[in-house]
């Protein structure tokens, strides 16, 4: 094992390069092996120094961060953590970088210097996770032909509720899974993706453009309908609730759970309580253990519990926690998840039809 995680800092701002290097070298397990002020210089440095992780600014003159990232994904095994401006434009380009293969991102607050202690912990933790992560899969072949979206708001009641918890490595994996579902998918989906506010709305719109099902950022009172996925807003908790006039989601600003808001545990527990056997809980790639105990509640309530397989996760943290606690009934590879969800979300036959498809976890 290497004694240090070797990091290259790429940013067009001399001050930012200095601050980022200072932050990273405050940790004894990280060594900053170099810095680069533009995209062309960054690619030369990567080839020369072979760093484990690159911190990448996206908005640079000349070859920008997206261009650099594409080259890294084609030619190198280096992991990338994006350091992005906390703005609408910054969020949009950051989501594109995550879809192309960046492991994670840290948003640069406007008052970066005064918030350095907060940024330090987040950046160091994400660098360490990125260094141990698996490579993001290349675009998967055999995608489903696009189906025209239903016009207007979907109005069909859902046969099942599919709750998904996902974190590091999630934007790529979630886009793949949702884009493979047909427009007439019989279940309603509710998703907690660990992502700050200001990013989730753009993320939902990006997914909606790529999917036959409808995808939107959740609002309080949104109905749970077949063929629709609701993405929890950043910095809110989301729950599901059964009402006489229809099943809905609710949002709250309660305290963080497991250090997260939104928390997957909050969603899963409400799904178990309200829908029991009519629910499916899926934990996908991400660090930590958020969602594991909530998955246990879904299993106890008679719902179906799934985890993404280790070999297809960028970070096998959240799924591993559920597997180790005995809460996951099936482990499923990323490519197989859409098909399994279709079977499980179907009325009546869903549970029995899918029972033999995924392999049992060890």
**Active-site option among 194, 270, 289, 321:** 194
For 346, which DSSP code? S
Report residue 143: phi and psi, to 5°: -70, 150
Q: Is 352 a catalytic residue?
A: no
Q: In DSSP terms, which residues pair with 332 in a beta bridge? A: 308
Torsion (CA) 7, 8, 12, 17 in degrees, nearest 10: 50
Q: Is the separation of the CB atoms in 214 and 154 below 8 Å?
A: yes
**Active-site option among 260, 290, 297, 328:** 290
Task: Classify 252 as helix, strand or coil.
Answer: strand
CA distances from 152 to 148, 157, 180 (A): 12, 15, 21
Interacting residues of 341 by C-beta distance below 8 A, sequence separation 6+: 162, 177, 181, 185, 187, 280, 282
Task: Classify 259 as helix, strand or coil.
Answer: coil
Q: Is 263 a catalytic residue?
A: no
**Active-site option among 84, 167, 179, 312:** 167
Query: Distance between CA 335 and CA 332 in Å, rounded?
Result: 8
Side-chain-facing half-sphere of 221: CA atoms under 13 Å:
0
Q: Is 290 a catalytic residue?
A: yes
Say if residue 148 is exposed, middle or buried (CB neighbours under 10 Å; 0-12, 13-18, 19+).
Answer: exposed
Residues labelled catalytic: 167, 194, 290
């Amino acid at each position: 094992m290497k004694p240090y995680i070797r990091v290259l800092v790429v940013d067009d701002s001399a001050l930012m390069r200095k601050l980022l290097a200072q932050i990273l070298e405050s940790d004894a397990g990280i060594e900053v092996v170099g810095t680069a002020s533009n995209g062309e210089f960054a690619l030369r440095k990567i080839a020369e120094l072979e760093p484990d992780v690159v911190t990448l600014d996206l908005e640079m003159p000349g070859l920008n961060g997206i261009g650099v990232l594409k080259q890294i994904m084609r030619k190198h095994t280096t992991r990338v953590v994006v350091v992005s401006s906390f703005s609408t434009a910054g969020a949009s380009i950051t989501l594109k970088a995550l879809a192309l293969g960046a492991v994670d991102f840290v948003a640069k607050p406007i008052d970066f210097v005064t918030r350095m202690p907060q940024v330090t912990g987040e950046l160091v933790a994400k660098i360490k996770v990125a260094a141990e992560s698996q490579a993001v899969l290349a675009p998967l072949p055999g995608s489903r032909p696009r189906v025209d979206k239903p016009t207007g708001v979907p109005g069909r009641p859902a046969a099942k509720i599919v709750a998904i918890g996902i974190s590091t490595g999630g934007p790529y994996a979630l886009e793949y899974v949702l884009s493979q579902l047909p427009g007439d998918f019989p279940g309603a989906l509710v998703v907690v993706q660990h992502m700050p506010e200001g990013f989730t709305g753009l993320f939902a719109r990006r997914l909606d453009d790529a999917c036959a099902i409808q995808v939107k950022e959740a609002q309080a009172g949104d109905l749970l309908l077949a063929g629709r996925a609701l993405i929890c807003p950043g910095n809110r908790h989301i729950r599901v609730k059964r009402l006489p006039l229809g099943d809905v989601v609710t949002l709250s600003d309660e305290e963080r759970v497991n250090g997260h808001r939104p928390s997957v545990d909050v969603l899963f527990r409400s799904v178990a309580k309200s829908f029991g056997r009519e629910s499916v809980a899926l934990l996908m790639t991400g660090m930590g253990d958020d969602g594991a105990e909530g998955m246990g509640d879904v299993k106890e309530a008679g719902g179906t519990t799934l985890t993404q397989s280790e070999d297809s996760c960028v970070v096998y943290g959240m799924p591993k926690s559920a597997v180790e606690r005995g809460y996951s009934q099936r482990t499923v590879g990323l490519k197989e998840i859409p098909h399994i969800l279709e079977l499980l979300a179907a009325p009546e036959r869903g549970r029995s039809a899918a029972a033999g498809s995924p392999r049992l976890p060890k």
